[in-house]
Amino acid sequence: MPEIPNYFPAWLNRGMVDIFPSGEDNDPDQNILSRLKQSSINQEPLRIKLGIDPTGTEIHLGHSILFRKLRAFQDAGHTAVLIIGDFTACIGDPTGKSSTRVQLSSQEVEENAKTYLKQLGQGMDPERSLLDFKTPGRLEIRRNSEWLSKLNLNQIIDLLGTATVGQMLAKEDFGKRYSSGTQISLHEFLYPLLQGFDSVVVKSDIELGGTDQKFNVAIGRDLQRHFNQRPQFGLLLPLLVGLDGTKKMSKSLNNTVGISEDPLSMYSKLEKIPDDLVGSYITLLTDLDPHLMPLDPREAQKEMALAITSNRHGEEAAKAAQNDACKLISGAKNSFAEVPEVSLAKVNFPAKAFYLLSALGVSVSSSEARRQIKGGSVRLDGEKIVDPNLVFENPSGLRGKVLQIGKKTFRRLAN
């Protein structure tokens, strides 16, 4: 990651890869430290915008990087403005997409939003949640349908008039699709303008985003100037590489760790990430000092996995998960291991091994289950299953046993 000036406070500097504008004078419109100082003098907290489009149901650790930074601003006394993109999610962010996204219904988006807020800690004590929902003045939750659904055609034309087709095609994703002849729908050009208009409505001082969101954040600055507002700063954080060690963490790539996963699954996945990712996971997902980590890569992995699991589930549960993972990986048949359970009730018996894995949801499909079994990554109570067509006549011989997929997934079979 590029070096950020070391005169930034540690809570702001950690993990940041870009801040714009980045002037070094004392102008609070060009220098974020001057804006922070002015805020302190005037005793007016800054408004820190983070927009999320609830297009899925699970928040994973890659998403949590932005929420951790938003929480750091909350803890520094500023106001987090969390925008639920219930209107923009129905369009779909074209960033990173090689084709037009499938549009969701408003009902689907609202259900997803409820699960997102629960995972972020709504109703929980601040000590155990990603965001502080309880301290007065620290959080505003807005849905952009409040204002975007009320725009009339004249206002939409005004928004469209603030950007050019050339600007839109300069966005990398649009440029690639245009050059390759891949269809771009006109409503996709509207997306960054609507997201930018959110900054105008909430009077954002700073917008957080991943490095892939720089174009959209910059549009927000342009629109604030268009509406005679003080422009926001853009603060960008890196995209987390997933468990495969090569591509960004994404549910569609099956390389994620969900923030709501049980402690054992979370710990088991994290302690197996590639060595070259450990440093970035420590920096982006924990408060540990990277310079004080063990030199031995294996020990650093374990300490990182324990810290992240502790953040989500508490130290006691994380240490229990670490202990259980050690026993399970070594093949020990410990009936007291705290392994998450999965019900056999959904399985139709007699059942072949590949179908069993698929029906239980531990494999994404029957073909994936066949591949995992043939690859030697499936064990039942420590014994390797080698035949995908092995038949289990009834559930009685399976109850209480631990099913293991690779070194990361463990499930105790229950009624």
Q: What is the pLDDT of residues 249-287, one digit of tens each?
A: 988 888 899 998 889 889 988 998 999 999 999 999 999
Span 299-310, pLDDT tens digits: 999 999 999 999
Give the span between the Cα atoms of 293 and 304, in whole angstroms. 9
Alpha helices in 43-148 (DSSP H): 61-75, 106-120, 145-148
Structural domain contains residue 383 = yes
Taken as a whole, the chain contains a residue count of: 415
Which of residues 8 and 37 earns the better pLDDT score? 37
Structural domain contains residue 141 = yes
Structural domain contains residue 19 = yes
Same domain, 281 and 216: no
Give the span between the Cα atoms of 407 and 391, in whole angstroms. 24
Cβ 4 vs Cβ 19: under 8 Å: yes
Structural domain contains residue 243 = no
Strand (E) or helix (H) holding 409? strand 409-414
- SS3 for 101? coil
Same domain, 167 and 210: yes
What are residue 206's DSSP bridge partners? 48, 233
pLDDT value at residue 375: 87
Same domain, 110 and 50: yes
Q: 192: domain CATH number? A: 3.40.50.620
Give the span between the Cα atoms of 384 and 376, in whole angstroms. 7
Structural domain contains residue 247 = no
Structural domain contains residue 376 = yes
Residues 170-189: what's their mean pLDDT?
87
Structural domain contains residue 409 = yes
Same domain, 358 and 382: yes
Q: What percent of the chain has pLDDT over 70?
A: 93
84-98, 100-114, 185-199: range with highest mean pLDDT: 185-199
What are residue 246's DSSP bridge partners? none
Q: 378: domain CATH number? A: 3.10.290.10
Structural domain contains residue 137 = yes
Strand (E) or helix (H) holding 78? none
Cα angle 217, 222, 227 (rounded to 5 degrees) comes to: 125
Mark 30-48 as b/e (b = at least 16 C-beta within 10 Å): bbbbbbbeebeeeeebbbb
Residue 156: pLDDT over 80: yes
Cβ 200 vs Cβ 223: under 8 Å: yes
Give the span between the Cα atoms of 184 and 264, in whole angstroms. 43
- Going by C-beta distance under 8 Å and a sequence separation of 6 or more, which residues neighbour residue 9? none
Mean pLDDT of the chain, nearest integer: 88
Same domain, 321 and 384: no
Span 67-83, pLDDT tens digits: 999 999 999 999 999 99
CB atoms within 10 A of CB 380: 18
Instruction: Say how many domains are in the chain.
Output: 3
CA 238, 239, 240, 245 dihedral sign is negative
> Which of 212, 170, 221, 220 lies closest to 194, judged by CA?
220
pLDDT value at residue 217: 95
Same domain, 21 and 129: yes
Residues 98-127: what's their mean pLDDT?
82
Same domain, 367 and 409: yes
pLDDT value at residue 219: 95
In the listed set 276, 307, 329, which residue is the last one of a domain according to the structure?
329
Span 365-406, pLDDT tens digits: 888 899 999 888 898 877 789 899 999 988 887 887 888 888
Same domain, 291 and 169: no
Residue 413: pLDDT over 80: yes
Residue 1: pLDDT over 50: no
pLDDT value at residue 3: 45
Same domain, 274 and 375: no
> Which of 318, 323, 315 lies closest to 127, judged by CA?
315
Give the span between the Cα atoms of 411 and 263, in whole angstroms. 12
Residues 316-337: what's their mean pLDDT?
73
Confidence of residue 94 (pLDDT cuts 50, 70, 90): low
Same domain, 28 and 173: yes
- Going by C-beta distance under 8 Å and a sequence separation of 6 or more, which residues neighbour residue 99? 177, 182, 183
By residue range, what is the domain housing residue 15?
Answer: 10-237
Same domain, 198 and 311: no
Residue 324: pLDDT over 90: no
Same domain, 287 and 394: no
